[in-house]
Amino acid sequence: MAPVGPRTGDAIFSNVERVNAELFTLTYGAIVRQLLTDLEEVEEVNKQLDQMGYNIGIRLIDEFLAKSNVSRCIDFKETAETIAKVGFKMFLGVTASVTNWDADGTCCSIVLEDNPLVDFVELPDTCQGLYYCNILSGVIRGALEMVSMKTEVTWVRDMLRGDDAFELQVKLLKQVPEEYPYKDDE
């Protein structure tokens, strides 16, 4: 029987090296700022942040698996719980909760009450369409893709847009079976 993974990310979080939270927040802010300058279109910035997150996610998954000792999750419900309780704690120092499950267990919401990325941020009128934290949705999508789950991650609530929390909807599109990668005649 494989070892059972941790229920929370607290122990791992207390053992990793950390940087000053303000430095982290301001660095992320600087990136978004620069993207806005370079790309001009808010929609393009959203796309770029998502892509950057995706690139982080496909790497971060290995770090997550190696440090957390999580083995395979039994189903998507356990996966979502693990992301919220262990993943967010490990890498952002906050805990999220999972709610709004649909009937067949393939779509849920991850709700963040506290989000270190948005300290000091107020959306100006010119950036109303911006999903400031779009990097997070990319990270989740990328990380899950590496464990063979194709997902669609979208923002439902965003505090910068006046909602009372950050809510990410994670929808499982399909699980990709493992196939033999070589062709017979190769």
Partner 1 sequence: MQFFGGSEISPSPPAPTALGNNAHMMYVFNRSGVCLLYREWNRPLHTLNAQQDHKLMFGLLFSLKSLTAKMDPTSAEKGNLGVPQLPGQGCSFHSFRTNTYKLSFMESPSGIKIILVTHPRTGDLRDSLNHIYNLYVEYVVRNPLYSAGTPIRSELFNTTLDQYVRSIA
Of 44 and 75, the one with the shorter C-beta distance to partner 1 is 75
- Give me the least distance between CB of 66 and partner 1, in Å please: 4
By beta-carbon proximity to partner 1, the closer residue of 104 and 179 is 179
**Single-letter residue type at 174:** K
DSSP state, 5? P
Instruction: Tell me, residue by residue from 54 to 93, as one string, x for binding to partner 1 by CB under 8 A and - for no binding.
Output: ----xx-xxx-xxx-xxxxxx-------------------
Burial 168-180 (b: 16+ CB within 10 A, else e): bbbebeeeeeeee
Which residue is associated with the tokens 């919220």?
84
Distances (CA, A) of 144 to 48, 56, 57, 60, 79: 19, 12, 8, 10, 9
Q: Write down the least CB distance from residue 19 to partner 1, Å.
A: 15
**Rounded CA separation 87/93 (Å):** 9
CB of 119 to partner 1, least distance (A): 25
Of the residues 33, 148, 152, 163, which one makes contact with partner 1 according to CB under 8 A: 148
Residues that bind partner 1 (CB under 8 A): 58-59, 61-63, 65-67, 69-74, 146-149, 175-182, 186
